[in-house]
Each structure stands twice: as structure tokens, then as C-alpha cells.
A and B are shown apart, each in its own frame.
Chain A
Amino acid sequence: MITLDINGRAREVDADPATPLLYVLRDQLAMNGARFGCGLGQCGACTVLIDGEAAFSCLTPVSVLAGRKVRTLEGLGTAESPGAVQRAFIEEQAAQCGYCIPGMILRAQALLERNPSPSDAEIREHMSPNLCRCGTHVRILRAVRRAAGAMKDGR
């Protein structure tokens, strides 16, 4: 058994140490926020936060997570009470098919926690590992800017 700290809760999972975190989240813990996109760390749909840094959960074996804090989409808010970044994405309607959005939200969260007032260039640079095939980038960038403002206002 391996103990994981996910969204502040200790979760015991029975998995091979080399199992990617993404599979444990989706298949064992029924936390389906993180998506399987490429499985190769090339698209970012599986992005989660590990100790506050954005990471590809499809590449992260659970063996490296002892004593580290994982945060997923489920930890940011709920459908009834979305977090600041989630709300900004909804307000900007920054999704078309939506498959990439959980990863986008988590990556944006990592940026805004470290840098509450990023420039446009910093947002673009930081978000660049995450891909969107629908071409919603302009709205995603707007949502990140809106979230930055909202988080500063304490909303």
C-alpha cells in the first residue's frame, strides 16, 4: 500500500510503485478531473500540482510522491462553489470541447500562486506546455488574466 496526500487527504492505494499518478487518480480514486491525453508529457491534459508546481501526472510514478502534496481539479472547488481560476474560466467561457481545461486550470493555478500579477508574456510562457486542439487559447489567456485579478481582490 502507498499513502498519497491528495487535496489534503491521506489516500491509501494499492498500486505498483511505477504506476503513473494519473491512473491511480482516475481508475482507483475516481477523481476524473485530470485527463489522459497523450500519456507522454506532451499535451498537459493530465496536469496536477505537486508541492505547488505543475506536473504531468501521466509521467509521475506514485513512488515519488511520499511526503509530497498533490492537488487536483477536485481540490480547487466544486460545481456549486468553483475556485477563483475555475470561475474565471467559466466567466470567459474559455472552453470548446473542454478536454484540456482541467490541465489548463491547474497550470494557471500554479502560476498565480507564485506570481499573482503575471505579464501577458509570462502567462504565455508558463502556459505553453499545455495544448488546446480547439484553438480556445485567446479565451484561456483572458481567463488567466481574469483569475489573476479576482485572486488579488480576494474573490
Chain B
Amino acid sequence: MARRAWRRRAASAAVAGALAAVAACASGPSAVPEGVPRPASFDAPRVAQGARLASLGNCASCHTAPAGRTYAGGRALQTPFGTIYGTNITPDRETGIGQWSQADFARAMREGVDRDGRNLYPVFPYDHFTILTDADIGALYAYLMTREPVRAATPPNALRFPYNLRPLIGVWKSRYLRTGPFRADPSQSAQWNRGAYLVRGLAHCGACHTPRNGLGAEQKDHDFAGGEAEGWHAPALNAESPSPVPWTAHALAAYLREGLAESHAMTAGPMTDVVHNLAGAPAEDVRAIATYVASLDTRPRAERERAQASALAAAGRAKAPDAAGDAGHAVYAGACAECHDLGRGVDGGALPLEFATGLTIPTPGNLIRIIRDGIVPGEGERGRWMPAYAGALSDAQLADLVAYLRSLTDRPAWSDVRAAVREVAKGGE
């Protein structure tokens, strides 16, 4: 405790010192807090390695506001406990991490404590980053500290009581945070182990794909069993994978690289950002991630093959419906069939929807969002396209369509699709 207080005093002294120095001689060398290297002192290969790691970690996604400067923070993250804002991680002295030493940075990454000794909310996935090697943390630090400093104060969080009390995070940590390095599994290949290190650490896939408990901690006994991200369902990656055609390492690598794999739907929702950022990651790391994720589906080969055969047999169900006169099918025939009946092999064709995970996951929200809002690349960015049907379809027609599409699968009908449509429509306004 005394040590932390000392650190705080030292920090404010450093701030005061820096300000005084800037004020005293604007053109002279400004005071740099002890332990903070100058940008020029980082060697280029280390910075480049940090850039690749930041792509794998998808750091920009939470630490960049819509239309804001990269890494300057300010993005509102909605959690069940209130709104938390992604922080400024550019090296700006006052509003970013410009005064952080590498040791400060490593402590935040591994233990979830900021430079002033305050606990960080676990929406910052230090429960994953804790396994990062010193070399990787050093490279990320070198990369971030050589970005252009952006002066941008992070808005204060808007969390409900008692979650707004930071000291309580300490209790959370004592229950859920397990620090310590990654332990490789010697019975697996080097590629698998590299993938495991990335998936469980920097890429923090479980942050969305693992369900969380009432206190926001990942349920370790349900690793990768499907979770939630920004109102989207993040499908299970384990043996409960809802993908009609089971994933292979090959398909996953294509999906993570291109946002698209044969017999699988394209990326949508928060996963679009992940794929966008993975474009800056080394291909061999993406393949390693794919290898490890594919291994999470532990169903025996025969069972996976059965699932695949049944998915392929189901293809074409939408095209030739048993339920003529179904209101949802009428909408499908008019609005969707022109592309989705063609299949991807043809110009203007799209995936037969019997292959879409959006139809087989436990909740209809993803499908509703995709039909309503489309899949539209960010401004000025390339990407896959699905047009938005908001306005074209009434809420009732959208609900009929969604219920019809679900009926093409072997899963039970979703309950109260209309309410789910209303919920999404409300959020879209």
C-alpha cells in the first residue's frame, strides 16, 4: 500500500515536472519521466513486431472511437454493468500512456493495474494478456510508444453502483484472475502451441466466445462454448459449434484472413473488425490460430462427418420449401432467393442459407441484425457486402422471414422472434 502511494506521489511529481519543463522552455528538451524511453530509442524490428502483435490483439478495435484517431480511445463499450470507454493508448503525456515505463505497461497487461496503481476493469482482457511473454509485451510497448501522441481525454465511465467502485475489482481478481506464463503442451505440434498461446493470450478469443458469469468472468468450465459481444452472439468454437458444416483448420484460416470460407457465412458484427485487423498479422500466426481453434471442436471425426453430410443434404431446402404459403417463405422468395438460391459460384450469387451459422445459433439477434442492417464495410474500406433491408421489410415480415429461415434447420424454433426484432429495431434508431 505504502509503495503504491509512493508511486502515485512520484507520478504526480513527474506530471508537474513535465508541465513545468514545457512551460519554462517550449523549444527545449522536455522532461521525460524516468524509465520512459524516447521513441527514437526503439529499434525498428521490435516496433514492426509490435505492430503485428497489435493486429493479432485487435487492440485498435476497443481503443479507437468511431471516426476517431487510432488508439486514441473514447470508444463506448456497453457491458451488463454500464458503459466503459476504451482508453487512449497513444504516448500522449497527459491523456495517454506517454509517462508509462515498460514495467508499468507490463503490469497493466499482466495484472490489470494502471500506472497510478488503480485496478483496471477486466473488459480490458488482462486475464488473457497475463500469459504474454516479456518479448511480446516489450514489442507491443515499443509499437505503442512510437505512435503519434494524440491528446484525447477518455470520457469517464458510466457504471452502475457498485460496479463503479474500482477497489471491488480486487475481489474479482482474487477470484478469477490467474496470472502466470503460458504452458505449452508437449504432446501437440509447435503450430498448435503457437495457436494456443495466441488464442488464449493476445487474441483473447474467449473474451467473446466463452460465456461469462454474473460478475463478467469467463466460465472456465464452458471454455469457448459461445458468448456475447456488443449485442451479437459469438458462436461456440468447441464441440458445441453450431456451424452447419464443421470448421476445419483450412476453412478457419481462410475465414480469419478473408472474412469468407467455403460453405460458411461471411463475417458480420464485431468479428468484421477482428478480420480487418488480422490482415496485419503474419499468415503463419493466423494459420496457427486456425489450427488451435479447429482442435477445440473435439467431436470424433465420424460425428463431424455426419454433421457435414446432413448440412450438405439440407442445402436447397430454402429453394424448394415444403411449406408453400408460409409467410416467411414468401418474403424469402421475393427478397432473398435471387442471390441466395444461386450459391456463391455464380456472379451475384450468395451462400445458400442452410450453411449459415446465423440460423443455428441459440438466439435470432445476429440474423435479424444482418437482414436489417446488412453487412456493410466501414467507410472507405473494402469488404464483403450484404444489402440492408431496414425499411424494405416491416418488422412483422422480418420476423416471419427469420422464423422461416430457422425452420430450415433441425433446431427448435426461436421463441418470440417478434420481440427480438423490436429489440434490434429499437437499438438501430
Q: Which residues of A contact B (CB under 8 A)?
A: 17-18, 40-42, 49-51, 53-56, 59-64, 68, 110, 128-129
Contact = CB atoms under 8 A, between A and B. Distances in A.
Name which of A56, A61, A62, A110 has the most chain B CB atoms within 10 A of its CB: A61
Given A53-B391, A61-B334, A68-B394, 8 more contacts: A18-B333, A18-B338, A41-B387, A41-B388, A56-B391, A61-B335, A63-B333, A128-B379
A21 to B, nearest CB: 9
For chain B, the bracket of interface size reads 20 to 34
Contacts of A62: 334
Name which of B374, B392, B394 has the most chain A CB atoms within 10 A of its CB: B392
B370 interface: no
A63 to B, nearest CB: 4
Contact of B389 (A42, A59, A110): A59
Contacts of A41: 374, 387-388
A64 B397 CA distance: 8
Contact of B333 (A17, A49, A110): A17
B253 interface: no
A17 B397 CA distance: 15
B172 interface: no
B387 A64 contact: no
Contacts of A68: 394
Given A17-B330, A17-B334, A59 B392 contact: yes
B296 interface: no
B429 to A, nearest CB: 8
Contact of B390 (A55, A61, A63): A55
A64 B338 contact: no
B385 interface: yes
B159 to A, nearest CB: 25
Contact of A60 (B376, B379, B385, B392): B392
Interface in B309-352: 330-331, 333-335, 337-338
A41 B393 CA distance: 14
Contacts of A56: 387-388, 391-392
Contacts of A64: 331, 334-335, 392-394, 397
B388 A40 contact: no
A23 B389 CA distance: 17
Contacts of B333: 17-18, 61, 63
